[in-house]
């Protein structure tokens, strides 16, 4: 019988990751606040700090460090809870992963602070950072591989020992997410190891820019699913238990994760729709595959709302929407992820717009895109992660989430939603008017078009300020939960599957099969255009340091 409480040693491992994750939120949040204030012309940065330096720090700390550390910490805790205490070998590998990742994070962050890596978190060539910036990123990625290896190894040993064909749903989903991460990071690792590092050291004269961008986006789109899937784990596995319901269907949940592995990778060209050197046919093919990845999200939406309705009706709800009122709105463990889910509706619709050939041309590289991913990753995913932290941190530190903290956490969620409404709303609108993303305060010599954007940029600063207050409140809540909340036992909720649900076909856990299909799809989508990029390449490009 597996304990309902995460083992103490595993809890420490998980918490180590969670501390780093939320330290990154605070630092990245400060950078974010300053960016909105600079961009609206409200303040000027002191002490020679550059806007783009802050922007690089904001992207790396929040999009890479916060997300990855939190995801890994959450998965360690969940695997320990559902499979049992980590075996020695994966446990040691996990700590090694933490150390390697953290060396990489510190190295890259120091390079950004020294202004040696102001290339933004996408580090597009031929802007050339210090070799140590890229080496830091390499350590970070290798650390995540060790983490993924530790999880897969623990999963494998547990499966051998239990002799069951199907693993617990949480474990399956966590391993699937890490497998997605392995396949995706091959692209960026190849680019950094074989292109960026030799070039930044000066061992080779030039770089194939288009190839480096393509390898980046081969990684860059599944990256967003790497952020999203752990939120889906919470929505599928944890939320049903919190609301007193059941998981609608184990089989469909697994099927949706299989579809994410298959269709979230061969789609990177929808980030490169407006680029030279890739034919419209291959761009369109990847747009089609991009749309395929919407299907598992539709399945997820159905399953979740089915769970909500069924559990509401069991509690005596009547009428078409009576169940909506039966949901535990005052429970912070539910409220934060639920607001995240609701925000995902417009966020997902925006994503469909971005991926559509012609509409992409209107919004590409405008603030619309920034507005979009502040709804997806910075609201749907972030609020869900906050919602997880509210019970996971006290569970791991042997404390309880008190009623007072529930209320403060709900206030945090509301502040976040309001701040994001102003900031992301203004970004979407001014993006449609043509304001570019990733650009410091400018009026382009008082051009009337650019002057018209300023009121929206002020609204962004207003939203950003509200969000920063929300981050401070979050820090207060999490510090309380980690160090000061009353001692006790907080549940680690894991849902059970509805009795009526069908038995899960074993084929859904056939890794060899799904990895083969994923590989075939990747080869179909990428082989011809990548060969063209290499054979029909212009003379390679030297590096530039324009900051």
Partner 1 sequence: MHIHKFEKIWLIVGSGTLVVFLLIIGINAFAMGHTPPSDDEILDPQEVDITAPFDEPGLKKIGENEYELVMIAQAFTFQSVQDLKIPKGATVHFTVTSKDVVHGFQIPKTNVNMMVTPGHVNKITHTFDDVGQFLILCNEYCGVGHQAMGVPLEVIE
SS3 198: helix
Spatial contact of 393 and 481, defined as CB atoms under 8 Å apart? yes
Residue selected from 201, 329, 444, 483 as contacting partner 1 according to rule CB under 8 A: 444
CB of 186 to partner 1, least distance (A): 23
The residues in 230-249 that bind partner 1, with binding defined as CB under 8 A, are 249
Tell me the two tokens of residue 156.
Answer: 């494998």
Residue 506 touching partner 1 (CB under 8 A): no
**Region of residue 296 (left: phi > 0; alpha: psi -120 to 50; beta: else):** alpha
Residues belonging to the active site: 221, 225, 372-374, 437-438
CB 77 within 8 A of CB 154: no
Q: Which stretch binds partner 1 (CB under 8 A): 24-32, 45-53, 105-113, 163-171?
A: 45-53
Which CB, 19 or 284, lies closer to partner 1? 284
Per-residue binder mask for partner 1 (CB under 8 A), 69-98, x = binder: ------------------------------
Q: Which of 288, 506, 517, 531 binds partner 1 (CB under 8 A)?
A: 288
Choose the stretch contacting partner 1; rule: CB under 8 A; options: 29-37, 229-237, 283-291, 417-425.
Answer: 283-291
Rounded distance between C-alpha atoms, residue 150 and residue 232, angstroms: 22
3-state helix, strand and coil shares in percent for the chain, rounded to the nearest 5: 75, 0, 25
Q: Residue 442 or 527: which CB sits closer to partner 1?
A: 442
Stretch that binds partner 1, among 65-73, 380-388, 427-435, 462-470 (CB under 8 A): 427-435
Compute the distance between CA of residue 191 and CA of residue 189 in angstroms, rounded to an integer: 5
Least CB distance to partner 1 at residue 544 (A): 5
Q: 87, 302, 324, 421: which one contacts partner 1 (CB under 8 A)?
A: 302
Buried b (16+ CB within 10 A) or exposed e, 400-430: bbbeebbebbbebbebbbebbebbbbbbbbb
- As measured in angstroms, the least distance from the Cβ of 338 to partner 1 is 20
Give the one residue of 436, 469, 475, 515 binding partner 1; rule: CB under 8 A.
436
Stretch that binds partner 1, among 68-76, 100-108, 186-194, 355-363 (CB under 8 A): 355-363
Instruction: Output the six-digit token pair for 306.
Output: 């089915």
For 2, 169, 254, 255, the CA distances from 83, given in Å and listed in that order, are 7, 10, 17, 21
299 lies in the site for partner 1, by CB under 8 A: yes
Residue 399, strand partner residues:
487
Stretch that binds partner 1, among 73-81, 335-343, 439-447, 486-494 (CB under 8 A): 439-447
Asked if residue 485 binds partner 1 (CB under 8 A), the reply is no
Cα–Cα distance for residue pair 169/251, rounded to 1 Å = 9
List the interface residues with partner 1, window 179-198 (CB under 8 A): none
Taking residues 445 to 464 in sequence order and writing x for each that binds partner 1 by CB under 8 A, - otherwise, the string is x-xxxx--------------
DSSP state of 238: I
CB of 524 closer than 8 Å to CB of 530: no
Residue 52 in contact with partner 1, rule: CB under 8 A:
yes
Dihedral in degrees, nearest 10, Cα atoms 359, 296, 140, 378: 60
Name the strand (E) or helix (H) holding 397: helix 382-397
Residue 117: count of CB within 10 angstroms of its CB: 29
Residue 110 or 306: the one with the smaller Cβ distance to partner 1 is: 306
Kindly state the smallest distance separating residue 428's Cβ from partner 1, in Å. 15
Residue 280 CB, nearest distance to partner 1 (Å)?
4
The CA-atom distances, in angstroms, between 93 and each of 157, 174, 417 are 14, 17, 38
In the list 42, 153, 356, 429, the residue contacting partner 1 (rule: CB under 8 A) is 356
Q: Is 428 in the site for partner 1 (CB under 8 A)?
A: no
Q: Which of residues 303-342 bind partner 1 (CB under 8 A)?
A: 303, 306
Closest to partner 1 by CB, 108 or 360: 360
Q: Using the rule CB under 8 A, which residue among 441, 462, 494, 515 binds partner 1? A: 441
Which region among 168-176, 411-419, 431-439, 466-474 touches partner 1 (by CB under 8 A)? 431-439
Question: How many Å apart are CA 76 and CA 188, to the nearest integer?
Answer: 24
Of residues 258 through 277, those in contact with partner 1 by CB under 8 A are: 272-277
Residues 358-377 close enough to bind partner 1 by CB under 8 A:
358, 360-362, 364-366
Q: 352 Cβ partners below 8 Å, 6+ apart?
A: 291, 294
Site string for partner 1, 95-134 (x = CB under 8 A): -----------------------x-x---xxxx-------
Instruction: Give CA 136 to chain center in angstroms.
Output: 20
What angle (nearest 5°) sits at the alpha carbon of residue 496, between those of residues 247 and 70? 80
User: At 154, is the secondary structure helix, strand, or coil?
Assistant: helix
> Residue 409, Cα to own-chain centre: how many angstroms?
21
Phi-psi region of 163 (alpha: psi -120 to 50; beta: other; left: phi over 0): left
- Binders of partner 1: how many residues, by CB under 8 A? 76
Per CB under 8 A, the segment of 66-74, 78-86, 443-451, 458-466 that binds partner 1 is 443-451
- Candidate list 294, 469, 494, 515; residue touching partner 1; CB under 8 A: 294
In whole angstroms, the minimum distance from the beta carbon of 545 to partner 1 comes to 8
Binding to partner 1 (CB under 8 A): which residues in 524-543?
A: 536-542
């Amino acid at each position: 019988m597996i304990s309902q409480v995460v083992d103490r040693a595993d809890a420490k491992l998980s918490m180590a990751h969670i501390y780093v994750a939320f330290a990154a939120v605070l630092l990245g949040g400060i950078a974010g606040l300053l960016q909105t204030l600079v961009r609206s012309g409200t303040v000027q940065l002191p002490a020679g700090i550059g806007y783009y330096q802050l922007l690089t720090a904001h992207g790396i700390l929040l999009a890479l460090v916060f997300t990855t550390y939190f995801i890994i910490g959450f998965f360690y805790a969940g695997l320990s809870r559902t499979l049992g205490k980590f075996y020695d070998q994966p446990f040691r590998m996990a700590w090694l992963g933490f150390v390697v990742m953290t060396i990489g994070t510190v190295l890259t962050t120091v390079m950004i602070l020294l202004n040696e890596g102001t290339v933004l978190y996408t580090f597009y060539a031929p802007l050339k950072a210090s070799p140590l910036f890229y080496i830091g990123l390499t350590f970070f990625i290798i650390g995540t591989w060790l983490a993924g290896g530790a999880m897969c190894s623990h999963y494998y040993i547990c499966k051998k020992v239990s002799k069951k064909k199907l693993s617990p749903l949480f474990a399956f989903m966590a391993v699937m997410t890490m497998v997605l991460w392995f396949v995706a990071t091959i692209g960026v690792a190849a680019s950094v190891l074989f292109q960026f590092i030799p070039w930044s050291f000066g061992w080779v004269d030039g770089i194939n820019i288009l190839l480096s961008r393509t390898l980046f986006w081969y990684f860059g789109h599944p990256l967003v699913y790497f952020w999203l899937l752990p939120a889906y784990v919470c929505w599928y596995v944890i939320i049903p238990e919190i609301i007193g319901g059941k998981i609608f269907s184990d089989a469909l949940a697994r099927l949706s994760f299989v579809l994410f592995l298959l269709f979230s990778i061969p789609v990177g060209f929808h980030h490169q729709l407006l680029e030279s050197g890739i034919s419209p046919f291959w761009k369109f093919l990847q747009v089609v595959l991009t749309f395929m990845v919407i299907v598992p999200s539709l399945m997820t939406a159905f399953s979740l709302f089915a769970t909500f309705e069924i559990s509401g009706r069991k509690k005596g709800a009547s009428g078409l929407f009576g169940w909506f009122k039966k949901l535990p709105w005052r429970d912070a463990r539910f409220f934060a992820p639920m607001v995240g889910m609701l925000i995902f509706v417009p966020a997902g619709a925006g994503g469909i717009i971005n991926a559509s050939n012609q509409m992409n041309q209107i919004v590409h590289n405008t603030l619309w895109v920034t507005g979009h991913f502040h709804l997806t990753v910075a609201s749907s995913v972030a609020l869900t992660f906050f919602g997880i932290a509210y019970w996971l941190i006290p569970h791991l530190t042997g404390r309880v989430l008190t009623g007072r903290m529930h209320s403060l956490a709900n206030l945090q969620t509301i502040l976040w939603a309001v701040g994001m409404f102003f900031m992301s709303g203004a970004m979407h609108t001014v993006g449609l008017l043509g304001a570019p993303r990733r650009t410091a305060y400018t009026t382009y010599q008082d051009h009337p078009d650019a002057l018209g954007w300023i009121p929206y940029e002020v609204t962004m600063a207003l939203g950003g300020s509200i969000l920063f207050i929300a981050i401070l409140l979050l820090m207060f809540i999490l510090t309380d939960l980690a160090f000061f909340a009353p001692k006790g036992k907080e549940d680690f909720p894991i849902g059970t599957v509805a009795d009526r649900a069908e038995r899960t076909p074993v084929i859904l856990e056939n890794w060899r099969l799904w990895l083969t299909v994923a590989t075939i799809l990747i080869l179909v989508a990428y082989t011809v255009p990548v060969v063209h990029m290499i054979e029909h390449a212009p003379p390679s490009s030297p590096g530039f340091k324009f900051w």
